[in-house]
Protein backbone atom coordinates (compact mmCIF):
# COMPACT_ATOMS: atom_id res chain seq x y z
CA UNK A 1 0.00 0.00 0.00
CA UNK A 2 1.21 3.50 -0.80
CA UNK A 3 -0.65 6.68 0.03
CA UNK A 4 0.35 10.25 -0.77
CA UNK A 5 -0.93 11.80 2.45
CA UNK A 6 -0.27 15.38 1.37
CA UNK A 7 2.64 17.79 1.50
CA UNK A 8 3.69 16.70 5.00
CA UNK A 9 3.95 12.91 4.75
CA UNK A 10 3.64 9.75 2.68
CA UNK A 11 2.30 6.45 3.98
CA UNK A 12 3.60 2.98 3.19
CA UNK A 13 1.99 -0.19 4.43
CA UNK A 14 1.40 -3.88 4.08
CA UNK A 15 -1.44 -6.00 5.42
CA UNK A 16 -2.94 -9.43 5.46
CA UNK A 17 -6.50 -10.58 6.16
CA UNK A 18 -8.09 -13.92 6.98
CA UNK A 19 -11.79 -14.77 6.74
CA UNK A 20 -13.19 -18.18 7.71
CA UNK A 21 -16.82 -17.13 7.93
CA UNK A 22 -17.45 -16.58 11.63
CA UNK A 23 -13.83 -15.57 12.32
CA UNK A 24 -12.27 -12.56 10.64
CA UNK A 25 -8.79 -11.18 11.33
CA UNK A 26 -6.46 -8.62 9.81
CA UNK A 27 -2.94 -7.39 10.47
CA UNK A 28 -1.63 -4.10 9.06
CA UNK A 29 1.79 -2.42 9.36
CA UNK A 30 2.15 1.22 8.27
CA UNK A 31 4.88 3.84 8.18
CA UNK A 32 4.20 7.58 7.85
CA UNK A 33 7.51 9.11 6.82
CA UNK A 34 6.67 12.68 8.02
CA UNK A 35 9.28 13.71 5.47
CA UNK A 36 8.25 17.33 5.12
CA UNK A 37 6.62 17.81 8.51
CA UNK A 38 8.52 20.34 10.56
CA UNK A 39 8.40 21.28 14.21
CA UNK A 40 8.16 24.90 15.30
CA UNK A 41 11.95 24.96 15.71
CA UNK A 42 12.42 23.64 12.15
CA UNK A 43 13.47 20.12 13.14
CA UNK A 44 12.06 17.02 11.46
CA UNK A 45 9.51 14.67 12.97
CA UNK A 46 10.47 11.04 13.42
CA UNK A 47 8.71 8.57 11.12
CA UNK A 48 5.55 7.15 12.69
CA UNK A 49 5.15 3.36 12.74
CA UNK A 50 1.79 1.68 13.36
CA UNK A 51 0.99 -2.00 13.85
CA UNK A 52 -2.73 -2.86 13.95
CA UNK A 53 -4.35 -6.21 14.70
CA UNK A 54 -8.10 -6.66 14.43
CA UNK A 55 -10.33 -9.65 15.04
CA UNK A 56 -14.03 -10.43 15.16
CA UNK A 57 -16.09 -13.54 15.78
CA UNK A 58 -19.76 -14.07 15.04
CA UNK A 59 -21.41 -16.41 17.55
CA UNK A 60 -24.75 -16.07 15.78
CA UNK A 61 -26.63 -14.10 18.42
CA UNK A 62 -23.71 -11.85 19.33
CA UNK A 63 -20.64 -10.54 17.53
CA UNK A 64 -17.42 -9.80 19.41
CA UNK A 65 -14.80 -7.36 18.12
CA UNK A 66 -11.26 -6.74 19.37
CA UNK A 67 -8.34 -4.62 18.24
CA UNK A 68 -4.80 -3.80 19.27
CA UNK A 69 -2.52 -0.99 18.08
CA UNK A 70 1.17 -0.41 18.73
CA UNK A 71 2.31 3.10 17.83
CA UNK A 72 5.91 4.30 17.69
CA UNK A 73 6.77 8.01 17.35
CA UNK A 74 3.10 8.79 16.90
CA UNK A 75 1.43 12.18 17.26
CA UNK A 76 -0.29 12.19 20.61
CA UNK A 77 -3.94 11.05 20.58
CA UNK A 78 -6.40 13.87 21.10
CA UNK A 79 -3.88 16.65 20.41
CA UNK A 80 -4.79 18.89 17.47
CA UNK A 81 -1.37 20.06 16.29
CA UNK A 82 -2.86 22.26 13.56
CA UNK A 83 -4.72 24.31 16.17
CA UNK A 84 -1.65 24.39 18.40
CA UNK A 85 0.65 25.61 15.64
CA UNK A 86 -1.92 28.24 14.66
CA UNK A 87 -2.01 29.47 18.26
CA UNK A 88 -5.70 28.63 18.77
CA UNK A 89 -5.23 25.63 21.05
CA UNK A 90 -3.22 25.09 24.20
CA UNK A 91 -1.33 21.89 24.92
CA UNK A 92 0.09 21.06 28.36
CA UNK A 93 3.87 21.62 28.24
CA UNK A 94 4.52 17.95 28.99
CA UNK A 95 2.88 17.00 25.68
CA UNK A 96 4.68 19.52 23.48
CA UNK A 97 6.82 17.04 21.58
CA UNK A 98 9.90 18.11 19.61
CA UNK A 99 9.51 15.43 16.98
CA UNK A 100 9.79 12.01 18.59
CA UNK A 101 6.11 11.92 19.52
CA UNK A 102 4.91 9.15 21.79
CA UNK A 103 4.94 5.37 21.93
CA UNK A 104 1.71 3.75 23.08
CA UNK A 105 -0.34 0.56 23.18
CA UNK A 106 -4.08 0.72 22.58
CA UNK A 107 -6.72 -1.96 23.08
CA UNK A 108 -10.42 -2.03 22.25
CA UNK A 109 -13.18 -4.55 22.79
CA UNK A 110 -16.70 -4.34 21.43
CA UNK A 111 -19.84 -6.36 20.86
CA UNK A 112 -23.12 -6.14 18.96
CA UNK A 113 -26.33 -8.10 19.35
CA UNK A 114 -29.93 -7.91 18.13
CA UNK A 115 -32.36 -6.40 20.64
CA UNK A 116 -36.07 -5.46 20.34
CA UNK A 117 -35.93 -5.41 16.54
CA UNK A 118 -32.76 -3.32 16.38
CA UNK A 119 -29.07 -3.72 17.14
CA UNK A 120 -27.36 -2.88 20.42
CA UNK A 121 -23.63 -2.11 20.29
CA UNK A 122 -21.02 -1.39 22.92
CA UNK A 123 -17.30 -0.71 22.96
CA UNK A 124 -14.54 0.13 25.40
CA UNK A 125 -10.99 1.34 24.77
CA UNK A 126 -7.84 1.68 26.86
CA UNK A 127 -4.44 3.04 25.88
CA UNK A 128 -1.23 3.74 27.72
CA UNK A 129 2.10 5.11 26.61
CA UNK A 130 5.02 7.43 27.11
CA UNK A 131 5.99 10.78 25.62
CA UNK A 132 9.42 10.27 24.04
CA UNK A 133 10.50 13.88 24.38
CA UNK A 134 9.09 17.15 25.54
CA UNK A 135 9.88 20.82 25.25
CA UNK A 136 9.15 21.75 28.84
CA UNK A 137 8.61 19.14 31.58
CA UNK A 138 5.75 19.99 33.88
CA UNK A 139 6.21 20.34 37.62
CA UNK A 140 5.77 16.62 38.24
CA UNK A 141 7.96 15.59 35.31
CA UNK A 142 5.27 13.11 34.26
CA UNK A 143 5.87 11.64 30.81
CA UNK A 144 3.51 8.64 30.89
CA UNK A 145 -0.14 8.88 29.93
CA UNK A 146 -3.29 6.78 29.62
CA UNK A 147 -6.78 7.08 28.16
CA UNK A 148 -10.02 5.21 28.69
CA UNK A 149 -13.39 5.40 26.96
CA UNK A 150 -16.64 3.47 26.93
CA UNK A 151 -19.74 3.85 24.80
CA UNK A 152 -22.97 2.22 23.70
CA UNK A 153 -25.26 2.67 20.70
CA UNK A 154 -28.61 1.39 19.51
CA UNK A 155 -29.91 1.35 15.92
CA UNK A 156 -33.56 0.65 15.11
CA UNK A 157 -34.69 0.29 11.49
CA UNK A 158 -38.07 1.78 10.66
CA UNK A 159 -37.95 0.58 7.07
CA UNK A 160 -35.37 -0.87 4.67
CA UNK A 161 -33.73 2.54 4.22
CA UNK A 162 -34.73 4.57 7.27
CA UNK A 163 -34.02 4.13 10.95
CA UNK A 164 -33.40 5.71 14.33
CA UNK A 165 -30.11 5.70 16.22
CA UNK A 166 -28.81 6.76 19.61
CA UNK A 167 -25.35 6.85 21.15
CA UNK A 168 -23.79 7.68 24.50
CA UNK A 169 -20.12 7.70 25.46
CA UNK A 170 -17.68 8.83 28.15
CA UNK A 171 -13.91 9.21 28.08
CA UNK A 172 -11.12 10.28 30.38
CA UNK A 173 -7.34 10.56 30.43
CA UNK A 174 -4.71 10.40 33.12
CA UNK A 175 -1.18 11.38 34.06
CA UNK A 176 0.47 13.55 31.37
CA UNK A 177 -2.71 13.61 29.26
CA UNK A 178 -5.12 14.62 32.02
CA UNK A 179 -5.34 18.21 30.75
CA UNK A 180 -6.01 17.33 27.10
CA UNK A 181 -9.66 18.34 26.80
CA UNK A 182 -10.27 16.35 23.61
CA UNK A 183 -9.60 13.14 25.56
CA UNK A 184 -12.03 13.91 28.39
CA UNK A 185 -15.79 14.31 28.43
CA UNK A 186 -19.05 12.72 27.42
CA UNK A 187 -21.44 12.85 24.50
CA UNK A 188 -24.97 11.78 23.69
CA UNK A 189 -26.64 11.64 20.28
CA UNK A 190 -30.10 10.77 19.02
CA UNK A 191 -31.11 10.96 15.37
CA UNK A 192 -32.62 9.50 12.24
CA UNK A 193 -30.89 8.23 9.11
CA UNK A 194 -32.08 7.57 5.57
CA UNK A 195 -30.19 5.79 2.81
CA UNK A 196 -30.85 7.21 -0.65
117: DSSP letter: T
For residue 95, the model assigns a pLDDT of 53
Which residue from 147, 130, 153 is spatially nearest to 184, judged by alpha carbons? 147
* Segment 15-44, tens digit of pLDDT: 999 999 999 999 999 998 877 666 655 666
CB atoms within 10 A of CB 37: 20
pLDDT of residue 186: 94
Give the total residue count for the chain.
196
pLDDT at 11 over 60: yes
Residue pLDDT, tens place only, 140-185: 567 788 999 999 999 999 999 999 999 999 999 888 777 677 788 9
Question: Contact, 46 vs 40, CB < 8 A?
Answer: no
Count CB-CB contacts under 10 A for residue 98: 15
User: Region 106-134: what's the mean pLDDT?
Assistant: 92
- Using CA atoms, how far apart are residues 96 and 31, in angstroms rounded to an integer? 22
pTM here?
Answer: 0.79
Amino acid sequence: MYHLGGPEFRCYGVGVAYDSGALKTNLIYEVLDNKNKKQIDGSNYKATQLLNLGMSYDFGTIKIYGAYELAIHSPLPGVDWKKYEAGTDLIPPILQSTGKGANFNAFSLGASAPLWGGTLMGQTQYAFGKVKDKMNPDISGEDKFNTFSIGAAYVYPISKRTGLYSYGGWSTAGKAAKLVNDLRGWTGIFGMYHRF
